[in-house]
Amino acid sequence: MPHTTAFARNQWYVTAYSHEVGRELLGRTVLGETLVLYRSEQDGTPVVLHDRCVHRRYPLSEAPTRLDGDRIVCGYHGFTYDTTGACVYVPGQKRVPRTARVASYPVVEQDSLVWVWIGDPALADPQAVPRAAHLDAPGWTTVRGMEPIDCDYGLLVDNLLDLSHETYLHGGYIGTPEVAETPITTEVDEGAGIVRVSRHMDDAECPPFYAESTGISGRIMRRQDIEYHAPCLYLLHSRVAPVGVLPEADGSDPGGFHTEITYAITPSAEGRVYDFWAVSRDWATDDAGVTEFLRGNNHTVVMQDVTALNLLQRSLRTEPDGYQELSINIDTGGLAARRILARLVEEGDKPVEKVL
């Protein structure tokens, strides 16, 4: 089974960071649906509407479309929509055609992320949105960004589920020889759609990413515990500490440096994915120098992946259908993720029975 290309529609996807959604119109494309986002003046909640005016399909995220209170006024001929997508004004006549509306989408704003549901709205359960509380919890400092990549989202899933590539693609930043050399353990919760991949290194070189930010000068213990909530949310729980420094018996861990690396993998369109990335730490939280170092360093690492995946997608396009791959132990997590995604895609395709 090659990397995943089809979309699982009945799922929550991160469409923006909270700070990106305000009184300026923001355009995004998720699962091939063009969206316009803004924040309601009245109650502060994000609004997500289809980004095409029903009149002549003008993109509502583009100027001179503007907000009038909580209404959005198309910049071409003035069709005006409320937050539910209903058209409330057309120019030159009193009667607004009954069919004049744009789709509005279920939204959840949580942990500084704006999640959207593209599939059947009747199935959208806000409780099902996975948590990433460290992104805006007290005691944590986060740097973040988003890079679109011209590749199928399945290639980014493959990439993140197998961190052995850190040694080769990210050498000099976060990769050291021990990452690729240390075997992984994988656990799969098929029902919940969660894949866990762990790699624990007892005596490893400290990569510059951690050496320069934590001040550790010698060798380290390094734990990487991945928790992938298919399809969108990827959490990497990272702990580094000088060799021999273990958590206390009571579970506290004053000698360890904990970093939560978060990705949201949002399929934008065929062959295009939004790579939302964030690095949160519970150490040196007020140190602006560390913040800027991690922002720059992680951005470089993300761009190394972006470059590699753009290239990989282009080269896969020249392969014949049914091309062969050769998977090994490091791919166990990625293959489990492909299996779960295939199931979620299939479930989303089935006609859904509505409970009335």
Distance between CA 34 and CA 30 in Å, rounded? 7
**Looking at 305, 334, 336, 340, which residue binds Fe ion (CB under 5 A)?**
305
Q: CA 354, 154, 269, 9: dihedral to nearest 10 degrees?
A: 0
**Among residues 25 and 204, whose Cβ is nearest to ligand FES?**
25
Smallest gap from residue 73 Cβ to ligand FES (A):
9
Smallest gap from residue 40 Cβ to ligand FES (A):
21
Contact 86, 50 (CB under 8 A): no
Contact 244, 261 (CB under 8 A): no
What b/e readout covers 42-66, taking b as 16+ CB neighbours within 10 angstroms? eeeebbbbbbbbbbeebbbbeeebe
**Among residues 75 and 207, whose Cβ is nearest to Fe ion?**
207
**Among residues 75 and 193, whose Cβ is nearest to ligand FES?**
75
Contact 277, 174 (CB under 8 A): no
Q: Which of the choices Fe ion, ligand FES, none does residue 220 contact, using the CB cut-off of 5 to 8 A by kind?
A: none
- How far does CA 103 lie from the centroid of its chain? 23
Q: Which of the choices Fe ion, ligand FES, none does residue 283 contact, using the CB cut-off of 5 to 8 A by kind?
A: none
Q: Which stretch binds ligand FES (CB under 6 A): 55-63, 153-161, 234-242, 262-270?
A: 55-63
Task: Say whether residue 89 binds ligand FES (CB under 6 A).
Answer: no
Mapped onto helix, strand or coil, the DSSP state of residue 295 is helix
Smallest gap from residue 304 Cβ to Fe ion (A):
6
**Among residues 134 and 165, whose Cβ is nearest to Fe ion?**
165
Task: Write the CB contacts of 33 (distance below 8 Å, at least 6 apart in sequence).
Answer: 50, 118
Q: Which of the choices ligand FES, Fe ion, none does residue 305 contact, using the CB cut-off of 5 to 8 A by kind?
A: Fe ion
**Among residues 64 and 320, whose Cβ is nearest to ligand FES?**
64
Q: Which stretch binds Fe ion (CB under 5 A): 56-64, 124-132, 137-145, 299-307?
A: 299-307
Mapped onto helix, strand or coil, the DSSP state of residue 46 is strand
Q: Which of the choices Fe ion, ligand FES, none does residue 140 contact, using the CB cut-off of 5 to 8 A by kind?
A: none
Distance between CA 39 and CA 19 in Å, rounded? 10
Task: Write the CB contacts of 138 (distance below 8 Å, at least 6 apart in sequence).
Answer: none
- How far does CA 169 lie from the centroid of its chain? 21
**Among residues 87 and 197, whose Cβ is nearest to ligand FES?**
87
73 bridge partner residues: 66, 80
Q: Taking Cα atoms as reference points, which of 171, 174, 195, 170 lies closest to residue 185?
A: 195
Smallest gap from residue 88 Cβ to ligand FES (A):
13
Smallest gap from residue 79 Cβ to ligand FES (A):
4
Smallest gap from residue 157 Cβ to ligand FES (A):
37
Query: Where is 264: in which H helix or E strand?
Result: strand 257-269
Task: Say whether residue 53 binds ligand FES (CB under 6 A).
Answer: yes
Task: Say whether residue 88 binds ligand FES (CB under 6 A).
Answer: no
Task: Say whether residue 152 binds Fe ion (CB under 5 A).
Answer: no
Smallest gap from residue 52 Cβ to ligand FES (A):
9
Task: With CB under 6 A as the rule, give the number of residues binding ligand FES.
Answer: 9
**Looking at 7, 12, 13, 58, which residue binds ligand FES (CB under 6 A)?**
58
Query: Where is 276: in which H helix or E strand?
Result: strand 272-281
Q: Is the peptide bond before 177 cis (omega within 30 degrees of 0)?
A: no
Q: Which of residues 66-85 bind ligand FES (CB under 6 A)?
A: 74, 76-79
Binding site for Fe ion (CB under 5 A): 305
Binding site for ligand FES (CB under 6 A): 53, 55-56, 58, 74, 76-79
